[in-house]
Structure 1
């Protein structure tokens, strides 16, 4: 199958590209810059979702498009308006399936970025191209990044906000499954195997790196903060728990860094 991966050089997209290539697909990366390493059955096209420039050429002779783009600073322009341009280009190119990634709890946490993801889902569902939508919890690396930044200042952020981090490779595999299966509309949500408070995540990281930290309570006010404390970013009973724990991910990341 010929598959285009929008954002195929990003954190999620690169994993999706690798997974699809390993399954024998012909893959085209659609991004502003080419991948660092080109492989057999891999091509690249430049396109800009904010303007639509390059999308028609990017989707020529493509069967399925996987959208792995992320943008928090320009969420509406890229994720919502950009998706409209993508779907229009897919219709012109005769693409038969669009695969989209979203976030568990985006409809329960009232912040701007999550509102844009909800609107993106609505555009997809109302659009002209058969589709599949997968919601996943936050990636291990996304949850770890602010903890690592705080650790540089010997600070351990504490809060009752709950997270259920997942391995990005597991998400990529489920997106590749969606490509193989065909249009399925919304598929079951996925998340990591364990729910943690931010305090628990910070303490796990502190113990792993064996550093002295100053515990600092991080207030999360308003409706969004309450939703996070109530587990809105975590799976409900219908979701599927997959992959490694945060502890396992930290150990693997440390081992990878030591062997480079």
Structure 2
């Protein structure tokens, strides 16, 4: 198979590319690093040329923002451009990665993911959407992002983190199969406290400073704390725990 990966040079995109190549597939990464900008005016034509002959496109694009309007604008623009390019190139399957609970907390960054799902569902390309929980690496990301000077903050959140490697394997499985619409969510083996995850990551990487817990304001902050972002009972459960992931860093 020929598989294009939108966001193919990021954390998950790199794991996806490795997994697909290990299975013997040809991979075409789509990102600004490879000369493809899906938000540019001429992005559709360039993307269509790059994905010509591909059997499937896996979209794991992301943007570093919590601003609702920015997130919506990015995901709507990038998704529609990608779907238009797929139509021009004759691609028969679009696979999108979303996040568990986006419809229960459609605010901030999640509002963009809701818009992305809607654009995929309304498009003309046969589609599959997989929602996954936060990756184990989310602890590292939040340790870096939620810093105020020398102080690292730990937002309160109930989550059930999953291994990015397992998400990559599942996405390649889906690319190898026919379009299936919404498939069962994918989550890690147990619920964790994000506060505890961040503190454990910090200690494992040598940080010994104070890491206070904070509650984010507004409806999205409440959703983080009240369990709305946890998977339902019918979710597919991964194998690697956060404890095992932390151990792998040493």
- TM-score, normalised with respect to structure 2: 0.88
Q: How does 1:98-177 map to 2 (within 5 A)?
A: 98-147=94-143, 153=150, 155=152, 157=154, 159=156, 161-177=157-173
SS at match of 1:214: coil
| 1:180 equivalent in alignment to 2:176 | yes
CA 1:201 to 1:20, structure 2 compared with 1: closer, same or farther past 3 Å? same
| 1:61 equivalent in alignment to 2:78 | no
SS at match of 1:62: coil
In the TM superposition, residue 109 of structure 1 has moved relative to its aligned partner by 1.9
Match of 1:40 in 2: none
Contact 1:158 1:215 in 2 (8 A): no
What is the total number of aligned residue pairs between the two structures? 242
In the TM superposition, residue 206 of structure 1 has moved relative to its aligned partner by 5.6
After superposition, what is the alpha-carbon deviation per residue over 1:11-61, rounded to whole angstroms, capped at 9, x for unaligned? 111111111111111111122224xxxxxxxxxxx3211024211211211
Contact 2:108 2:220 in 1 (8 A): no
CA 1:252 to 1:148, structure 2 compared with 1: closer, same or farther past 3 Å? farther
Unaligned runs of 5+ in 2: none
Contact 2:107 2:220 in 1 (8 A): yes
CA 1:27 to 1:247, structure 2 compared with 1: closer, same or farther past 3 Å? same
CA distance in 2, matches of 1:135, 1:179: 15
SS at match of 1:5: strand
Match of 1:81 in 2: 77
Match of 1:72 in 2: 64
- TM-score, normalised with respect to structure 1: 0.84
Match of 1:253 in 2: 249
CA distance in 1, matches of 2:208, 2:148: 9
CA 1:219 to 1:100, structure 2 compared with 1: closer, same or farther past 3 Å? same
After superposition, what is the alpha-carbon deviation per residue over 1:207-235, rounded to whole angstroms, capped at 9, x for unaligned? 64676543523022222122111112221
Unaligned runs of 5+ in 1: 35-45, 255-260
Contact 1:5 1:13 in 2 (8 A): yes
Contact 2:30 2:36 in 1 (8 A): yes
- Quick check: which has more Rg, 1 or 2? 1
